[in-house]
Amino acid sequence: MFYVPWLTSAAKTFSAVLFVLYVVVPVLVKTNPWIFSKILFLHFLKFPYFVDLKRPEKRGIKGCKNFYIKVNEKVTLGAWHTLPQQNRGDNQELKLNSGHPIVLYLHGNAATRAQPHRIELYKVLSSMNFHVIAIDYRGFGDSSGTPTEEGVLEDTYKAYRWIRDRSDKVPLYIWGHSLGSAISTNLLKHLNKKGERVDGLILESPFNNLWDASRRHPMSLPFRFLPWFEWVFIDSMKKVVDYCTEDNIMEIDEPLLILHAADDHIIPVQCGRELHTKVEQYRKGKVGRSYTMYKEFDRHLGYRHCDIYKDPELPTIIRSFMEMCVEKK
């Protein structure tokens, strides 16, 4: 047999990669489940980098002002307020009581409120003459602190109260994208327990529960076939996070709009479909505000996980939903 040095070296490298992937990584996450909190939020990925969050106009947003919300002595949230297009002018004051509907936007994991696809959605909503309040949870962007499930709930409730203290009678809608869909339903469950309500809930690219989303996420692909995948990864994750959108929705009665792209590569559309099915089953026969609307965007449109804002019919869909919210109020 011929000795081939490069082949031997490649085999050693391949073996080392397999050892790290299927021995080191599983042992690491099983013994340190807190890692999943970091993976879930990815708050340390603050792209786009080198952005001055205090100057949203530099990101191409007209009529947008930066401000901060104090949650407690240790946490302050960075936030943007994008004015309704109709209200733009020389005097860019934070007048939430103008009568125009307000959307509290709760983004997904990683990045900041300056992420391009988030900015484009603000523009769409502003063009429809909505106020848009977009916050960065603790640890994201220029917000202080470190994100946890309980901490983010405190952040979002504080943002809600900040809005309501300035606009008690104005229609308020919550928009949650991706992980923000679970965060928003967690907030509404908390509000409902306190006897507080919003006018409607919009979930973009949501998951039914974190466990199904994790099993279907691209990052889990190398591990799914392992017989101990559930024990190592899913069971360990449940020890530190408990985001379950479908369970949260069972405890709220706000009108609900679900938006999902059929070609979503991060949270597969099956998650959105299953969420819709469970909500429909639970709300079947209920009267009052429990209205549910589901819109799935065809695969050929190429919206994937973040680009539903591009759909020319989106404003019509949103207005139709909000009209129903008013009717059911």
Tell me which residues are annotated as active site. Answer: 178, 264, 305
Kindly report whether the peptide bond that precedes residue 206 is cis, defined as omega within 30 degrees of 0: no
Of 186, 240, 235, the C-alpha closest to 215 is: 235
Could you give the count of Cα atoms lying within 13 Å of 52 in the half-sphere of its Cβ? 6
Whole-angstrom Cα distance, residue 251 to residue 257? Answer: 16
What is the 8-class DSSP label of residue 22? I
Helices (H), the chain: 5-19, 25-31, 35-41, 116-127, 149-164, 179-193, 210-216, 229, 235-238, 245-249, 269-283, 314-328
Q: Token digits for 15?
A: 């073996």
What is the 8-class DSSP label of residue 298? -
Please answer whether residues 66 and 78 qualify as being in contact, where contact means their C-beta atoms are separated by less than 8 angstroms.
yes
Helix (H, G, I), strand (E, B) or coil at 258: strand
The dihedral sign for the CA sequence 290, 306, 114, 81:
negative
Chain length of the chain:
329
CB burial readout 158-191, b (16+ within 10 A) else e: bbbebbbeebeebbbbbbbbbbbbbbbbbbbbbb
Q: Token digits for 82?
A: 């994008």
Whole-angstrom Cα distance, residue 314 to residue 308? Answer: 8
Please answer whether residues 247 and 286 qualify as being in contact, where contact means their C-beta atoms are separated by less than 8 angstroms.
no
Return the residue matching tokens 């916050």: 135
